[in-house]
Amino acid sequence: MNQLSDYHRERVQAVLAASPLVPVIAIKDPDDAIPLCRALVDGGIRVLEITLRTEHGVRAIEKVRKAIPEAWVGAGTVTSIAQYRQVESAGAQFVITPGVTEAILEFGVTSEAPLLPGVSTVSELMMGYALGYREFKFFPAEVAGGIPALKAFSGPFPDVVFCPTGGISRQTARDYLALPNVRAVGGSWLTPAEAIAGKDWPAVSDIARGSLGDL
């Protein structure tokens, strides 16, 4: 059984260290990809998780990677190895999944783009742990137990850290980040639908800047 390399872990650690807040980005209009991501970066966000929740995700990753080279640009909501390969080809610098399968975990061990696997239970965490993973996405965070669950995980797994996502708000982000085993949090409040629909990019920058200032 292959084990996760130091290279992969260092890359994931670098992503989590680059920004305490990770926006969950779903591109509905392909023309929005670059200005939206630029607005987030202008607001101080350095990690961009562009999800595959819409048909424009892969292309958006490719465009944003070229347009905003100073940011970490990765793929979220990756649910199959076929999608993993697609986003790697598009230039994704990291991959985030909502959950795990043995196949995806094993593929991530040797992939070019390092994997932050999504877990919601101790059993899923143990699957990844056996392969050398020590950094995980905790999803859906609020539904799966929130802060009390993360505190409980720290007992048997003191060397594991998380990026919780799902149901976290600007108001609760700070509480999650106060936990010793949380390195970053993900959220969709950083990409409000109303501002995007109105192409109000300064508002997106203001929300990002204000959210970072709250921490």
Over residues 144-181, the pLDDT tens digits come to 999 999 999 999 999 999 999 999 999 999 999 999 99
Residue 1 has pLDDT above 90, yes or no: no
Q: Look at residue 95 and give its three-state secondary structure.
A: strand
The residues assigned a catalytic role are 49, 137
Whether the full predicted model's pTM is greater than 0.95, yes or no, is yes
Measured CA distances, 87 to 95, 120, 127, 191 (Å): 8, 24, 23, 21
What would be the CATH architecture of the domain defined by 6-214? Alpha-Beta Barrel (3.20)
- Letter string b/e over residues 74-89, b meaning 16 or more CB atoms within 10 A of that residue's CB: bbbbbeeeebbebbbe
Q: Where are the domains of the chain?
A: 6-214
Query: Is-contact 140 168, C-beta < 8 A?
Result: no
